[in-house]
Amino acid sequence: MAIFSVYVVNKAGGLIYQLDSYAPRAEAEKTFSYPLDLLLKLHDERVLVAFGQRDGIRVGHAVLAINGIDVNGKFTGDGKEVLEYLGNPANYPVSIRFGRPRLTSNEKLMLASMFHSLFAIGSQLSPEQGSSGIEMLETDTFKLHCFQTLTGIKFVVLADPRQAGIDSLLRKIYEIYSDFALKNPFYSLEMPIR
Amino acid sequence: MTVHNLYLFDRNGVCLHYSEWHRKKQAGIPKEEEYKLMYGMLFSIRSFVSKMSPLDMKDGFLAFQTSRYKLHYYETPTGIKVVMNTDLGVGSIRDVLHHIYSALYVELVVKNPLCPLGQTVQSELFRSRLDSYVRSLPFFSARAG
């Protein structure tokens, strides 16, 4: 039972606030010898596993660290390309940590505006008259709850599928937003909340 | 409780079948456009959900609901997508969607040599069996005809 993340999206689809509250889980560290038995590929400036699942390493996981040093996108800590580094037999044995890639702030911005459009399409495709957009979206690992205010601000909460009481949480977040963002004379509307 | 409509897509986004029962509002665009919009929305939701998920997913996207309807989604490993819109009172209907795929689509379309795959299903048998199956569901009610 948990709340994973909170997003606040303005009426134009821009992300104005974001909070994450989960510890990264499902990370696996392993030592490999030369021919790496996983197929890695570059995707969105990150090195992802494209083929080969073993020991908790899954397709879609990213290379997070090499020999205990965090990688920085597609580059190792000291500025070499990850794929080039792992292609060189002289660097083996090597210990690599894999895990679900964490979202960058750019990706969060993109996902927020993506949800904004999905919300609108959801109401357009409604088979019933007068439908709102997506209010709750269910997957096997999380539930996304969305509350849109009359002024068009969307509050989005990602929570555990069994977590109850999200509706009151969304109202409470709206209240906090009204009290501490909107009533702040230094806050300009539609802009990120700092 | 009621069933509004049902879409069946193949993995390339072709709408294999569409039927509706209690649909009060049309999308206001031609049907072909509507199928594309629906497939596009599901495609985006899938990628959205896989990026947002804090954990690794197995089944992925299952359903979403708005203030007036609920969309149920089921996808097979081969990429066939079964989408059913119902009202909000309906719980999880994964088994119903799975039945439509395994007992109706596979049996009457995939195993029928006269039904070419990857295009709209012309089979009258499939259409009528699907209709009677959906009408027999416990949450299908004939209210408002």
Name the token pair of A121.
């399409």
Query: What H or E segment, with its residue span, contains residue A81?
Result: none
Query: Per-residue pLDDT tens for B1-33?
Result: 899 999 999 999 999 999 999 888 888 899 999
Confidence of residue B145 (pLDDT cuts 50, 70, 90): very low
Domain closes at, from A50, A78, A99: A99
Are A18 and A112 within one domain? yes
Are A11 and A30 within one domain? no
Domain closes at, from A71, A99, A127: A99
Name the token pair of B143.
């209210």
In a domain, A163, yes or no: yes
**Amino acid present at A66:** I
Task: State the DSSP code for B111.
Answer: T
Name the token pair of A151.
């002024």
User: Domain of A74: which CATH number?
Assistant: 2.30.42.40
Q: Which residues of B touch A (CB under 8 A)?
A: 4-5, 20, 22-25, 27, 34, 37-38, 40-41, 44-45, 48-69, 71, 85, 87
- Domain tally for chain A? 2
Average pLDDT of chain B is 91
State the best of B64, B65, B74, B90 to mutate against chain A, taking most chain A CBs within 10 Å. B64
B41 vs A contacts (CB less than 8 Å): 118, 121-122, 125
Residue in B with minimal Cα distance to A139: B61
Are A114 and A177 within one domain? yes
Are A129 and A142 within one domain? yes
Interchain CB distance below 8 Å, A141 and B56 = yes
A75 vs A87: CA distance, rounded Å: 13
Interchain CB distance below 8 Å, B25 and A126 = yes
Are A109 and A143 within one domain? yes
Are A111 and A159 within one domain? yes
In a domain, A193, yes or no: no
Query: What H or E segment, with its residue span, contains residue A71?
Result: none
State the best of A57, A98, A139 to mutate against chain B, taking most chain B CBs within 10 Å. A139
In a domain, A117, yes or no: yes
pLDDT of the residue at B1: 83
Decide if B102 contacts B108 (C-beta within 8 A).
no
A118 vs B contacts (CB less than 8 Å): 41, 44-45, 48
User: Domain of A174: which CATH number?
Assistant: 3.30.450.70
Q: Which residues of A touch B (CB under 8 A)?
A: 4-5, 22, 25-26, 58, 60, 100, 103, 107, 111, 114-115, 117-118, 121-142, 144, 158
Which residue ranges form the domains of chain B, and what is each CATH number? 3-136 (3.30.450.70)
Are A33 and A94 within one domain? yes
Q: How far is CA A138 from CA A134, A135, B35, B71, in A?
A: 11, 10, 22, 10
Are A118 and A58 within one domain? no
Interchain CB distance below 8 Å, B4 and A127 = yes
B88 vs B77: CA distance, rounded Å: 27
pLDDT at B142 over 60: no
pLDDT of the residue at A24: 67
Are A145 and A115 within one domain? yes
A163 vs B93: CA distance, rounded Å: 21
Interchain CB distance below 8 Å, A131 and B34 = no
The closest of A102, A119, A103, A106 to A13, measured between CA atoms, is A119
B143 vs B145: CA distance, rounded Å: 5
In a domain, A190, yes or no: no
If 0-12 CB within 10 Å is exposed, 13-18 middle and 19+ buried, where does residue A23 land?
A: exposed
Name the token pair of A183.
């009533």
Interchain CB distance below 8 Å, B34 and A125 = yes
Are A112 and A90 within one domain? no
Are A176 and A114 within one domain? yes
Q: How many CB atoms lie within 10 A of CB A81?
A: 14
Strand intervals (E) in chain B: 3-9, 15-20, 61-65, 70-75, 81-86
Q: What range does the domain containing A155 cover?
A: 3-22+104-183
Name the token pair of A64.
């997070």
Decide if B22 contacts B2 (C-beta within 8 A).
yes
In a domain, A189, yes or no: no
Domain closes at, from A47, A77, A99: A99
Per-residue pLDDT of chain A (194 residues; tens, 9 = 90+): 789 999 999 999 999 999 998 776 678 888 888 888 888 888 888 888 888 888 888 888 888 888 888 888 788 878 888 888 888 888 888 888 888 888 889 999 999 999 999 999 999 999 999 999 999 999 999 999 999 999 999 999 999 999 999 999 999 999 999 999 999 999 999 999 98
A41 vs A33: CA distance, rounded Å: 19
Please name the residues in contact with B93: beta carbons below 8 A apart, sequence gap of 6 or more: B72, B84, B86, B139
Among B22, B57, B85, select the one facing A141 at the smallest CB separation.
B57
Q: What share of chain A is helix, strand, coil (3-state, %, to 5)?
A: 25, 30, 45
List the single range of A17-31, A114-128, B86-100, B114-128 with lowest mean pLDDT: A17-31
Please name the residues in contact with A84: beta carbons below 8 A apart, sequence gap of 6 or more: none
In a domain, A62, yes or no: yes
In a domain, A191, yes or no: no
